[in-house]
Amino acid sequence: MKNWEVQSKLKVKSKKLKVDELINILLENRGLTKKNEIAEFLNPKLERITSKNLGVSQAQISKAVSRIKKAIKGGEQIVIFGDYDVDGICGTAILWEILNSVGADVMPYIPSRVEEGYGLSKKGIDNLRKKYNGAKIIITVDNGIVANEAVEYANSKGLEVIITDHHIPSKKLPNAFAIVHTIKICGAAVAWVLSRELLSVLGRRFSEESKSVLSFSVQANRKQITEEHLGLVSLATVADVMSLTSYNRTLVKFGLEQIRKTERVGLNKLINLAGIKKEKIGVYELGHIIGPRINAMGRIDEGMESLRLLCTPNVRRAGELAAKLHATNVKRQELTVESVTHAKGIASKSKKIIIISDKSYNPGIIGLIAGRITEEFYRPSIVISEGEITSKGSARSVNGINIIEFIRQAKGLLIDAGGHKGAAGFTIETNKINKLKKILEKLAEKQIDKSLLVRKIRIDCKLPLEFVNSEVFENVSKLAPFGYGNPEPVFLAENVEVESHRFVGKDGNHLKIQFKVPSNSAGRQSSKLKIDGIMFGASKSLKLKPNDKVGIAYSIYENEWLAHRSLGEGGNGNKKLELKIKDIFFK
């Protein structure tokens, strides 16, 4: 229990819990204490998602819109230069569909991870010009804010560049025609903000051709169009691990509503193939089921196929693409397992940062490997895929350590570097890897406090099991959607008696536990009441016996099943509250 942090000491006076007091504690634990902040959190409004509030320069966004308007009127070709991850794919789909809908001559371009690398590059520009030799404008999505050399190169070739990005900029900004940038939202959301401004200024010029492109009704008004795209924004926000607070939480909350009723045939095919219910899609499904399938193409194949899946109106083609994404994701999983096993074998917790490099690592999955290493050892981790001349590196971090700022301290050794606080990527000459490793390890020893390398379970407050009921669950659920930055509330219950337990799941690595629930005067009349809990990935070394008294860190969730399932009948949906066990300790 030494690594459990109980953030608030809620005291249940008498035998009745004041739910309002509990919710206020949860809000306070998330940094929300002012009435206006709480009101905005509990009642988010899309109207607050403005360029001003997001910190996007209105002058730059107006400049971008004016140039695009001129290009449309003059018949100039526009190319949207996206990225091969979920964020870049979704943002490219949004801008391409919107520009197509207003009559622009616009084409998308997704670079090859292996051949061109991340972001706008000289090679990417050359390949783009070969494919679209009439291009006059490049609009980047989810990249470009540190592409100074590439922008100068584009300018020298007669191309004007409009950057839309959300990554952390370097000290000197690129010499682009316009820069639409903020770090408060994901790249797709930045593209959405620009597209909304475009629709506001340009109106709708739906052509017969655009009817076969947009998956929503061409009779829809501007509000409906931008709201439909919120589904893609929510997918990108979650997949890019943006903090689900403030504007991001608003975008995901409304975006989930849209994705649960999406008419995008490709997305629907992918959802069906993944075996999930569209109307039940939440943050977990976006981040762990749908997102990885879209990401897989850019990791070990061509990201353009994922873009085609999102945008195609053809049912047969959508089915083919969904099957391809699904199969590619399976292959990606197999590669990841193999590489992670190798990486774990050579990783060591002896230092404050883990840096691993190997020729066998596929550059498309090194971020996943780094993430698994960080999860396993709770250290910031850097994994490098060694090439003959240059190598690609990807990093993941733990709370409290800004990994991109940390890596940029060695920028003299790097060809390029970009990313966020928690994740970053870079390119380096292969013969400089050892030098980089020594420098970063030395910096880590000096700068990283040991306390940051201890895994902690943050617990909101104590909540005895007798107070777990539908009223509490319904009020706690108002804080959703939960995710990074807005974690699912975790409670502590002490001296809980174990009734029974068993390991379940395909590999028997999940622990199902039934607990006895003490009676109280708040609706619980029987001392024989019990509640089920599940501990995912539980250690087989955890030895429990009936009547053991334990302490548990847990969250509350609602389990839904079909009545009379054991009799093979349909029945109505039934729900019951259960616990997700985060940790257990013995007295």
The structural domains of the chain, ordered by start, are 4-22+463-586 (2.40.50.140), 48-324 (3.90.1640.30), 347-453 (3.10.310.30)
Which sign, positive or negative, has the C-alpha torsion 185, 187, 190, 196? negative
| Tokens read off for 87 | 């964020």
For the chain, the average pLDDT equals 90
Q: Average pLDDT of 475-499?
A: 94
Q: What is the pLDDT of residues 403-441, one digit of tens each?
A: 999 999 999 999 989 888 889 999 999 999 999 999 999
Instruction: Find the range with the poorest average confidence among 106-120, 304-318, 510-524.
Output: 510-524
Q: How confident is the model at residue 223 (pLDDT cuts 50, 70, 90)?
A: low
DSSP notation for 388-402: SSEEEEEEE--TT--
Q: What is the pLDDT of residues 2-26, one digit of tens each?
A: 588 888 877 666 567 889 999 999 9
Cβ within 8 Å of residue 499, ≥6 positions away: 514, 515, 516, 530, 546
Q: What is the pLDDT of residues 358-384, one digit of tens each?
A: 999 999 999 999 999 999 999 999 999
The pLDDT score that the predictor gives to residue 94 is 96
Q: What percentage of the chain carries pLDDT values higher than 70?
A: 91
Residue 564 clears pLDDT 60, i.e. is over it: no
In 235-380, the DSSP E strands lie at 354-358
Q: Average pLDDT of 510-516?
A: 93
With b for 16 or more beta-carbon neighbours within 10 A and e for fewer, the 343-370 pattern comes to beeebeeebbbbbbbeeebbbbbbbbbb
Q: How confident is the model at residue 231 (pLDDT cuts 50, 70, 90)?
A: very high
Q: Average pLDDT of 335-357?
A: 95
Q: Is the distance from CB of 65 to CB of 166 less than 8 angstroms?
A: no
The pLDDT score that the predictor gives to residue 330 is 96
Q: What percentage of the chain carries pLDDT values higher than 90?
A: 77
φ/ψ region of 425 (left if φ > 0, alpha if ψ in -120 to 50, else beta) reads: beta
Q: Average pLDDT of 470-482?
A: 95
The pLDDT score that the predictor gives to residue 321 is 98
The pLDDT score that the predictor gives to residue 14 is 54
The pLDDT score that the predictor gives to residue 478 is 94
Q: What is the pLDDT of residues 100-131, one digit of tens each?
A: 988 899 999 999 998 898 899 999 999 999 99
List the beta bridge partners of residue 179.
163
Query: In 10 A of CB 576, how many CB atoms?
Result: 11
Q: Average pLDDT of 72-78?
A: 96
| Tokens read off for 203 | 């109106």
The pLDDT score that the predictor gives to residue 216 is 38
Please provide the distance, in angstroms rounded to a whole number, between the alpha carbons at the two ends of the chain.
Answer: 10
For residues 296 and 292, give the distance between their C-alpha atoms in angstroms, rounded to a whole number.
6
The pLDDT score that the predictor gives to residue 521 is 44
The pLDDT score that the predictor gives to residue 12 is 65
The pTM for the full model equals: 0.89
